[in-house]
Each structure stands twice: as structure tokens, then as C-alpha cells.
A = this chain, B = another copy of it.
């Protein structure tokens, strides 16, 4: 899965194919990337409602150019989002070799940095566009096996659904942490909440 580099090909089921859209001409391609970077930045700072004109400005590009590449705000938004999701899915593959709990925990840590920087973008998980649905599915496909494996091995609570876990862990970084040590502490608590509780005694 996870269409990682330019070598296209829609792997298994619902791959994301961000590359379908990428323009051909050199300058256009350049601007496309600049816009994407600017947007990522702007969304992270100002939230979903970042000004499109500001994004164009950051990218050093006319507003018209922005609209040519991304006809709607949603388009731009989705492109940024899809990039993130792909990276996240790739991470799942890379962690697959670790012991069950470590793989899950590692991936969730990665998930946290994903939501941490892109807090704004996560707001869109509610919205209902087909792209978001696809991304959601991609995340599930990538992460759920990790949870299941951890559950089967007896490390993770059997009653926890994948969605439960994402909500618990994702919520942690809803507000930015000034202190990375604190983030670590809170994250540990969250992960412990997912683990099976040894019988008290």
C-alpha cells in the first residue's frame, strides 16, 4: 500500500493518489509545491480558516495562481491533509517489525506528532468529503492491524476500538504543549489507558 514515492500505481484498495493532480509544467509544479507548503504552515498556525490570500502571499504567488491549482478551499485543504496521511500510513509499515505493543505505541506516538502540528487539519475529520473518507479509511487500514495485534498478544485492552484509541491519543495534543516533557508524561498516561490493566493486588 501507501504510494510512497512518485512511482504512482494505485496499490491495493483505495489508494490516495495525490499525484493525479500534480501539474506538468516546471513553473506550475514549483508553484504548486510552494502553495502546498505555505498552506500547511498557514493551516497549522491559523486553523482551518486561514486566509487564502495570505497563503498565496506566503507562497509568493498571485491569488489567481492559488485558485487555478486549488479551485476550492477544500481542494487545498485536502491536498495538505492527504500528504500527511500518506506519511502516517508509511510509518505503520515501517513499525510492523517491532513487538506488538511497541509497534502500536510507536505508531500512536507518530500519530500524535501528526495531530500536534496539524491540529487545524484534524478539525476536518468531521467534514464529509470523499477524500476525507478515503483518508480515514487509509489510516484505519494502516493502524488497525497494529491495534489488533497488540490486543491479540494480550497487551492492549480488548474492548477498545480503533476509533476509541485515536480519539484518546489524538485528543492529548489538541492544545499545544510548551513542554515536551509534559507531552511525554501525558502521552504515557494515555497509552497506559489503552494497555490492559494488570489485576490489582
Contacts and interface: CB of A to CB of B under 8 A. Distances in A.
A186 interface: yes
Contact of A125 (B160, B161, B175): B175
A13 interface: no
Contacts of A175: 125-126, 167, 170-171
Nearest to A194: B189
Nearest to A183: B167
Interface in A23-72: 49
Quickly give the copy total for this chain.
2
A21 interface: no
Interface size class of A (residues with CB under 8 A): 20 to 34
A132 to B, nearest CB: 13
Contacts of A168: 171-172, 186, 189-190
A11 interface: no
A192 interface: yes
A174 interface: yes
Given A160-B185, A167-B186, A171-B173, A191 B192 contact: no
A180 interface: no
15 contacts: A125-B175, A160-B185, A163-B182, A167-B175, A168-B171, A168-B172, A168-B186, A171-B171, A171-B173, A174-B174, A189-B193, A189-B194, A193-B193, A198-B201, A199-B201
Interface of A: 49, 125-126, 157, 159-161, 163-164, 167-168, 170-177, 182, 185-186, 189-194, 197-201
Q: Which 6 A-B pairs have the closest CB atoms?
A: A171-B171, A193-B193, A189-B193, A198-B200, A174-B174, A171-B174
